[in-house]
Structure 1
Amino acid sequence: MDHDDLPLCLLPDEVTLLLAELAAPPRLVAHLRLVHDVAVRLVDRAAAHCPALEFDRAAVLFGAATHDIGKAVHRAELSAPGSAHEPAGRELLLTAGVAPRLARFAAGHATWGPDTGVEDLLVSLADQAWKNKRVPVLEDLLVTALVRAGGGERWEAFLVLDELLAAIGDGAEERLAYQALLPTS
């Protein structure tokens, strides 16, 4: 599969430069682009469906584009489970001069709860949805945030999110295959 087969949004320029400085492996760059692309779809739909939902779009997109940047150091975690990349990613970003409010996504994208902010929920959801992984607890937290911000019925917010996640899931096999073709070194 060629990169041209998947029309993906470009990563923010500062992220592209940082990944080049870190000599990030192609698989990591592809993964970050895939999650970032899904995040664009999520934030656009969230803003359209619930204009009253307050969140920092640029922060979400930066977070999605850098959430696994610590895997530039912990490369084994590109093909095997592990969480050492999370604090390492936050430290890499802070060292590169990234504000703590943005660096947090690298350390916190794998955990969420009732007090998790909307930006963090969107980054975490993008990191799951790109591969068609549905996480009901995470989705429920976002539905709660949507209803709290915009009112309306819970079932309506769920249906909007469910429809979007189903559409995103339809392309998961191609995304997974594309990522798997790229080297981890």
Structure 2
Amino acid sequence: MPESAPLARALDAPADPPLRLLPEAVAALLRELAAPPRLAAHLRLVHDVAYELTDWFARFRPELTFDREAVLFGAATHDIGKAVHTAELEGPGSAHEPAGRELLLAHGFTPERARFAATHGAWLAPAVSLEELLVSTADKVWKGKRVTGLEDLLIDRLVRASPPGTERWEAYLDLDSLLARIADGADGRLAFQAAHPIHVRRPA
């Protein structure tokens, strides 16, 4: 099936401020699935925010080790199950979570990578990884939403990895400053997403 022009725009169109492209393998999968353009736009936005988060952690908290590529892949694919459950692009629902994991596995991605599609809404689960916390945070703060319980878990990781004597309030201020800066761009990101349709009418 030929790629629709709206999907091509969602994947490739420049944005102001500039918006990073999705990983090539993810963009190729979205094209193969003829995914809704709004889903592609959303995944681009969350991936871009995840890039900012991981860049900050890598530069200012190098002692806190994590798999940056896994976080970026997870952000780029977290809602991919909505290519199947398109109603969840317009309303609530969690059927896309297990569906997204199964979709990624069916297309040859590893369980380690596919897990984010199923876990991005489950940050209170036992043994949640730092990578999963970062994907969940990106999925909230892209639209300016701050979730105290989720951020507290990130602060816990920061404190544990900090030099002895570091106070919790110091880690809180550092993370809060970062997330507030990202949240300031929420209006522009929401406008970018809204500019891309959910449904594409194809010629008869």
* Shared fold (TM-score, shorter chain, > 0.5): yes
Greater per-residue helix proportion: 1
Higher RCO, 1 or 2 (CA under 8 Å, sep at least 6)?
1
The answer to whether structure 1 residue 156 and structure 2 residue 170 are counterparts is yes
The aligned amino acid for 2:66 is F
Partners of 1:51 and 1:150 within 8 A in 2: no
The aligned amino acid for 1:125 is T
Larger Rg: 2
Task: Report the Cα distance in structure 1 between the residues aligned to 2:39 and 2:51, rounded to whole angstroms.
Answer: 18
Equivalent position to 1:172, from 165, 182, 186: 186
Could you tell me the TM-score, scaled by structure 2's length? 0.87
Number of aligned residues: 184
Task: Report the Cα distance in structure 1 between the residues aligned to 2:35 and 2:17, rounded to whole angstroms.
Answer: 20
- For 1:144, the equivalent position in structure 2 comes to 156
* Percent of paired sites with the same residue: 65
Equivalent position to 1:105, from 105, 116, 120: 116
> SS of the counterpart of 1:5?
coil
State the Cα distance separating 1:181 from its structure 2 match.
2.0
The answer to whether structure 1 residue 125 and structure 2 residue 147 are counterparts is no
Could you tell me the TM-score, scaled by structure 1's length? 0.96
Partners of 1:53 and 1:146 within 8 A in 2: yes
Gaps of at least 5 residues in structure 1 are none
Task: Report the Cα distance in structure 1 between the residues aligned to 2:31 and 2:18, rounded to whole angstroms.
Answer: 21
Task: Report the Cα distance in structure 2 between the residues aligned to 1:25 and 1:33, rounded to whole angstroms.
Answer: 13
Gaps of at least 5 residues in structure 2 are 1-12, 200-204
Equivalent position to 2:100, from 89, 97, 100: 89
Task: Report the Cα distance in structure 2 between the residues aligned to 1:66 and 1:4, rounded to whole angstroms.
Answer: 20
